[in-house]
Amino acid sequence: MNPLRRRRPRLRHLPCPRIPRPRIPRTLRARLTAGLVVLLAVSCAAVGVAAVVELNGFLTGRLDQQLQQSGPSFPQSLEHDRYKPSDRDGDEHGDTRRQASGTFGARLLNGRITNAALIPADDDPDLTVGLTAHDRAVLAELPVDGQGHSVRLKSIGDYRLVAWTGLDGDVLITGLPLEPVRATVHRLELVAAAVFGLALAVAGVAGALWVRWSLRPLSRVAATATRVSELPLASGEVALPPRAPDTDPRSEVGQVATAFNRMLGHVEDALTKRHASEERLRSFAADASHELRTPVASVRGHAELALLHPGPVPPEVTRALERIAAESSRMGEMVDDLLLLARLDAGRPLEAQQVDLTHLILDAVTDARAAGPDHRWTLDLPEDPVTVTGDTHRLQQVLANLLANARLHTPAGTKVTVLLEAEDGSAIVRVHDDGPGIPPDIQPGVFERFTRAEHRRRADAPGGGAGLGLSIVAAVVEAHGGTVTLESRPGSTTFTVELPLGSPT
Q: What's the rounded Cα separation, in Å, for the pair 456 and 480?
A: 30
> How do residues 134-152 score in pLDDT, each as one tens digit?
989 999 899 988 898 999 9
88-102, 226-240, 375-389: lowest mean pLDDT where? Answer: 88-102
Q: Torsions phi, psi of 116, nearest 5?
A: -150, 135
Given a cut of 50, whether residue 3 has pLDDT beyond it is no
Q: What is the pLDDT of residues 76-88, one digit of tens each?
A: 887 654 444 444 4
- What CATH number is given for 73-177 in this structure? 3.30.450
Q: For 231-348, CATH number?
A: 1.10.287
- The pLDDT assigned to 330 comes to 74
CA 474 to CA 22: how far, in whole Å? 52
Residue spans per domain, the chain: 27-70+178-214, 73-177, 231-348, 353-500
pTM score: 0.47
What are the C-alpha distances in Å from 114 to residues 34, 81, 108? 62, 8, 6
Would 231-348 and 353-500 be classified into the same CATH topology? no
Rounded Cα–Cα distance for residues 321 and 306 (Å): 7
C-alpha distances out from residue 408 to 371, 388, 413, 461, Å: 10, 28, 12, 6
Q: Are 375 and 410 in contact (CB under 8 A)?
A: yes
When the pLDDT of each residue in the chain is averaged and rounded to a whole number, the result is 78
Considering the domain 353-500 in this protein, what is its CATH number? 3.30.565.10
CA distances from 155 to 74, 105, 193, 214, 338 (A): 19, 14, 32, 62, 109
Instruction: For the chain, give percent helix, strand, coil, nearest 5.
Output: 50, 15, 35
Range scoring the smallest mean pLDDT among 43-47, 199-203, 447-451, 478-482: 447-451
